[in-house]
């Protein structure tokens, strides 16, 4: 048996990029059908990260209901709250669970359905040009886990290398009055310090 050459080894190492067509290598991939094409195919248009929080049922953590919700596979008889979600088709690019595990549902090159009616810095339809990140958590002042900030920081550090991200905002900032997540429990200062970016990136 011939041993692989140094060049072959290097080639196989290079075959594992951090990003592959908008998919992040360090996330578990559970592809959702809830997405569309972005109006601009130009990667330089992807300039906003929208941070959300979600829990299903509200304030309960640890199940797989969010994953099933983003795949239109939620059992609506399972909980009274789920009745309101019947027919609702949404997704986000990423979900960070309470234990820090990262799941990706939609390629960052595609348009996920997370922000709804929205606008930021004078431009509306944030879904067109943003990446949505859901943190598993309660939106009304609930704290998030340290490990969630760690995953969020490493993901966003990689996002700003791959895409020309100019702003990070909460759903509450892009849809004020209509949405309240991630809410007062999310520490923007901590997030900013971890990323080491200037105030101009943050709400
Ligand atoms: Zn949200």
Question: How far, in Å, from the CA of 93 to the mean position of ligand 1?
Answer: 12
Q: Which CATH class is domain 23-201?
A: alpha beta
pLDDT tens readout for residues 60-114 = 999 999 999 999 999 999 999 999 999 999 999 999 999 999 999 999 999 999 9
List the beta strands (DSSP E) in 38-85.
48-54
134, 136, 139, 172: the active-site residue: 134
pLDDT of residue 5: 63
Question: What percentage of the chain's residues is helix, strand, coil (to nearest 5)?
Answer: 30, 20, 50
Q: Which residues have CB less than 5 Å away from ligand 1 (the ion)?
A: 52, 171, 181
Which pTM value belongs to this model? Answer: 0.92
Mean pLDDT of 134-141: 88
Question: How far, in Å, from the CA of 182 to the mean position of ligand 1?
Answer: 7
Question: How far, in Å, from the CA of 162 to the mean position of ligand 1?
Answer: 23
pLDDT of residue 52: 98
Q: Where are the domains of the chain?
A: 23-201
Residue 179 structure tokens: 């949405």
Beta pairing class for 102-104 and 28-29? parallel
d(CA 44, CA 76): 39
Beta pairing class for 19-20 and 23-24? antiparallel
pLDDT tens readout for residues 35-46 = 999 999 999 999
The answer to whether residue 134 is catalytic is yes
């Amino acid at each position: 048996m011939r041993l692989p050459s140094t060049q072959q080894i290097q080639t196989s190492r290079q075959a594992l990029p951090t990003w592959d067509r908008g998919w992040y290598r360090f996330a578990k991939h559970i592809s959702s059908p809830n997405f569309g094409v972005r109006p601009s195919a130009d990667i330089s248009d992807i300039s906003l990260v929208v941070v959300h929080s979600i829990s299903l049922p509200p304030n309960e953590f640890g199940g797989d209901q969010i994953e099933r919700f983003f795949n239109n596979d939620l059992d609506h008889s399972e909980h009274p709250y789920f009745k309101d979600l019947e027919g609702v088709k949404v997704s986000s690019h990423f979900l960070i669970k309470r234990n820090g595990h990262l799941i990706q549902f939609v390629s960052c090159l595609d348009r996920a359905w997370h922000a709804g009616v929205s606008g930021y810095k004078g431009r509306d339809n944030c879904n067109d040009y943003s990446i949505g990140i859901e943190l598993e958590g309660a939106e009304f002042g609930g704290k998030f886990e340290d490990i969630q900030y760690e995953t969020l920081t490493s993901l966003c550090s990689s996002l700003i290398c791959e895409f020309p991200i100019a702003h990070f905002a909460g759903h509450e900032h892009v849809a004020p009055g209509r949405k309240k997540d991630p809410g007062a429990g999310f520490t923007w200062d901590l997030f900013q310090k971890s990323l080491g970016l200037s105030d101009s990136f943050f709400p």
